[in-house]
Amino acid sequence: MTKGKIVGLEGSFAVAEAVRMANTDVISAYPITPQTHIVERLSEMVADGDLDADFICVESEHSAMSACVGASAAGARVFTCSAGQGLELMHEVLYIPSSMRLPVVAVAANRALSAPLSVWCDHSDVMALRDISWVQMFAENNQQAFDLTTCAFRIAEDKDVLFPTMVHIDGFYLSHVIEDMVLPEEEEVAGFIPDYKHPFVLDPDKPVSMGCYGPPFIYSETKKAQDVAFDNTRPRIQEIWDEFGELFGRQYLPVESYKMEGARVALVTMGSCSETAMLAVDELRAAGVDVGLIRLRLWRPFPFKELREAVKDLDLLVVLDRAISFGMGGPVCSELKSALYNKREDLKIVGFIGGLGGRDIQISEFKYMVTQAQEKVKAIERGKEVETVIIGVREGGGR
Amino acid sequence: MGGEGLGWKDLEIGFVVTEPGNASSYKTGDWRSERPIRDNERCIKCGLCYIYCPEACIHEDEEGHFEADLYYCKGCGICAHECPRNVIGMVEEKEE
Ligand code: SF4
Ligand code: SF4
């Protein structure tokens, strides 16, 4: 197993280290809070000669992703990062590398969407990207931010994947927090991410046409091919995580559990608040409540099989959403219901919304969700409608 | 043009087209609802129709007259509009 060295690093710098050790060829990004420290650090590395990459300064996120598409089509190893409104401005172009099977790697420092203007963390930006057909995964701490960014290059460039890959790190909670973590040896990372060759690159000696237009007679076939190829990435993602685990001693899974032995109830979280939820589970367990925690590590492609396995002995899932799908409810909760529909009729799923726009979620609030969810189940069984609660929201109305 | 019969399993990764320049097999003439006809008697062989055709489908013949290649001609009527002698007319395509 790898030695590495223990360092104290901000989450953004951990990501930048991963990008440097991956020997990235091209970086194109536009700064936006809370992603800024990642690009600042990378531009320093390039300027100081610590990373032999082309850093393309652009005028917007739309251009950043466009430059990434071009560089990736030329066969380069490519990285970008953004957050919140920046991801929204990039949105149109995000569909291009996935349809064209270009292995761009990106990190999103998750941020709320305007209005009102908020630079703080939630998952509204992530939820707007659900259908872009990028492999997407969540980190919970800075070690994972480093590890998953490293894995993202291997996953994206794997010949059985060849889809762009995005690592979600919660803005500020990870991007601006210094934690201790193990930084592996550069040679070991280099050995884990070998040079890659895309089957089709822009090459004047072997010309191909990329990004052609698809009339109605062929468009359905292209989308079917894309959907099947994206679905088929699941086993390779797991194999690459297994290989990483063997080399570096940290194992990642599409769905990860915490204290699920004998649990009848489980919280479901994604991202940095999972660690707070673990503390809540510890306290509830100590008080005799049979509760565990399920964390969705892989968000796309959705880990149906692993989720169904994780919930097989449960009576109740308590899902936290850090975003609202207006007029619909919590997006993660909706997706879990859809993933489990017709599979577990007896399983109750209760959703809560919380942590919007950087509002902290306390241990006590996770505990409240678990007890409240049990109350709600009773109400549901009495045939009552239950509305989705926003944790900690003030009612007011006294004026 | 090719491709109509392809199934999803036949497509290259990323829908790359490995035969460069195959846009020339695309029959834009299918879009036409009117075709240009010309009266070569009054044509002054100025070549303006040739220059303005957005499809670049007008060719000069041995006598210096200009003719549209109907495989590509979209029937936009620009040649008729630009001709200084008004020798080009647009006539409706009929079902064959
Ligand atoms: S009708 Fe349009 S496309 Fe056809 S020959 Fe004239 S200018 Fe060209
Ligand atoms: S523009 Fe008119 S006059 Fe000039 S070459 Fe064409 S048809 Fe003849």
Give the domain CATH number at A277: 3.40.50.920
Which residue, of A226, A248, A270, is where some domain finishes? A248
> Could you list the residue range(s) of the whole structural domain that residue A288 is in?
255-390
Of the candidates A111, A276, A265, A337, the one whose C-alpha atom is nearest the C-alpha of residue A329 is: A337
Which residue, of A202, A221, A248, is where some domain finishes? A248
Choose, out of B1, B4, B16, B31, the residue to mutate when testing the contact with A (most A CBs < 10 Å).
B16
CA of B96 to the centre of ligand 1 (A): 21
Given a contact cutoff of 8 angstroms between Cβ atoms, the answer to whether A86 and A113 are in contact is no
Of the candidates A173, A97, A101, the one whose C-alpha atom is nearest the C-alpha of residue A140 is: A173
Q: Which ligand sits closest to the CA of B86?
A: 2
> Could you list the residue range(s) of the whole structural domain that residue B40 is in?
28-92
Note the pLDDT of residue B96.
66
Parallel, antiparallel, or unpaired: how do β-strands B66-68 and A178-183 relate? unpaired
Q: Note whether A225 contacts B: Cβ–Cβ < 8 A.
A: yes
Judge if the beta carbon of residue B89 lies within 6 A of ligand 1.
no
Of the candidates A61, A62, A22, A28, the one whose C-alpha atom is nearest the C-alpha of residue A43 is: A28
- Beta pairing partners, A6: A182
Q: Is the pLDDT of residue B95 over 80?
A: no
Judge if the beta carbon of residue B55 lies within 6 A of ligand 1.
yes
A269 with A229, same domain: the answer is: no
B16 inside domain: no
Atom of ligand 1 nearest to the CA of B52: 7
Which residues, 6+ apart, have CB-to-CB distance to A35 below 8 Å?
A12, A29, A81, A82, A83, A86, A107, A108, A109, A111, A171, A175
Note the pLDDT of residue B22.
82
A399 inside domain: no
A303 with A227, same domain: the answer is: no
Q: Note whether A21 contacts B: Cβ–Cβ < 8 A.
A: no
The dihedral sign for the CA sequence A311, A317, A323, A329: positive
B18 inside domain: no
Parallel, antiparallel, or unpaired: how do β-strands B34-38 and A105-110 relate? unpaired
A395 inside domain: no
Atom of ligand 1 nearest to the CA of B58: 5
A321 with A231, same domain: the answer is: no
A160 with A11, same domain: the answer is: yes
Q: With contacts defined as CB-CB under 8 Å, which chain A residues touch B15?
A: 99-100, 212, 214, 222, 225
CA–CA distance, A179 with A388 (Å, rounded to integer): 34
At residue A395, φ and ψ (nearest 5 deg) are -80, -45
A90 with A192, same domain: the answer is: yes
CA of B55 to the centre of ligand 2 (A): 16
* Interface contact flag, A217 B3, Cβ < 8 Å: yes
Task: Enter the ipTM.
Answer: 0.89
Mutate to test the pocket of ligand 1, among B78, B81, B87 (most ligand atoms within 8 A of CB): B78
Q: Is the pLDDT of residue B77 over 80?
A: yes
Of the candidates A23, A38, A135, the one whose C-alpha atom is nearest the C-alpha of residue A76 is: A23
Which residues, 6+ apart, have CB-to-CB distance to A197 below 8 Å?
A75
Cα A357–Cα A363–Cα A367 angle in degrees, nearest 5: 110
Nearest CB among A210, A218, A228 relative to B3 is that of: A218
Integer-rounded Cα radius of gyration of chain B: 17
Which tens digits make up the pLDDT trace of B44-75?
A: 999 999 999 999 999 999 999 999 999 999 99
A232 with A337, same domain: the answer is: no
Note the pLDDT of residue A387.
85
A226 with A288, same domain: the answer is: no
Between the alpha carbon of residue A104 and those of residues A210, A252, B85, the distances in Å are 16, 21, 56
Q: Is the pLDDT of residue B1 over 60?
A: no
Amino acid symbol at B10:
D
3-class state of residue A34 by DSSP: coil
Judge if the beta carbon of residue B48 lies within 6 A of ligand 2.
yes
Given a contact cutoff of 8 angstroms between Cβ atoms, the answer to whether A372 and A138 are in contact is no
Which residue, of A230, A248, A266, is where some domain finishes? A248
3-class state of residue B82 by DSSP: helix
B11 inside domain: no
- In percent, the amount of chain B with pLDDT more than 90 equals 82
Protein residue whose Cα sits closest to atom 6 of ligand 1: B79
CA–CA distance, A291 with A389 (Å, rounded to integer): 20
CA–CA distance, A129 with A145 (Å, rounded to integer): 19
Mutate to test the pocket of ligand 1, among B38, B51, B55, B59 (most ligand atoms within 8 A of CB): B55
Note the pLDDT of residue A173.
98
CA–CA distance, A48 with A42 (Å, rounded to integer): 10
CA–CA distance, A106 with A79 (Å, rounded to integer): 6
CA–CA distance, A287 with A196 (Å, rounded to integer): 52
- CATH number assigned to the domain comprising residue A117: 3.40.50.970
* DSSP-derived secondary structure letter, A201: -
Q: How confident is the model at residue B2 (pLDDT cuts 50, 70, 90)?
A: low
Parallel, antiparallel, or unpaired: how do β-strands A135-138 and A78-82 relate? unpaired
Nearest CB among A209, A217, A221 relative to B16 is that of: A209
CA distance B24 to chain A (A): 13
Note the pLDDT of residue B25.
85
Amino acid symbol at A317:
L
Into how many domains does chain B fold?
1
A41 with A144, same domain: the answer is: yes
A396 inside domain: no
* Interface contact flag, A221 B7, Cβ < 8 Å: yes
Note the pLDDT of residue A47.
98
Beta strands in A88-171 (DSSP E): 105-110, 135-138, 165-170
A21 with A131, same domain: the answer is: yes
- CATH number assigned to the domain comprising residue B71: 3.30.70.20
Q: Note whether B1 contacts A: Cβ–Cβ < 8 A.
A: no
Into how many domains does chain A fold?
2
B80 inside domain: yes
User: pTM of the full predicted structure?
Assistant: 0.92
What is the rounded average pLDDT for all residues in chain B? 93
Q: How many CA atoms lie within 13 A of A240 on its CB side?
A: 24
Structure tokens at A159: 């010949």
CA–CA distance, A344 with A347 (Å, rounded to integer): 5
In this prediction, the residues of chain A whose per-residue pLDDT falls under 70 are 1-2
B21 inside domain: no
Note the pLDDT of residue A386.
83
A288 with A306, same domain: the answer is: yes
Nearest CB among B4, B15, B22 relative to A222 is that of: B15
CA–CA distance, A105 with A95 (Å, rounded to integer): 13
Scored b (16 or more CB within 10 A) or e, A90-106 reads bbebbbbbbbbbbbbbb
B7 inside domain: no
B13 inside domain: no
Question: Chain B: residue nearest A216 by CA?
Answer: B4
B4 inside domain: no
End-to-end CA distance of chain A: 63
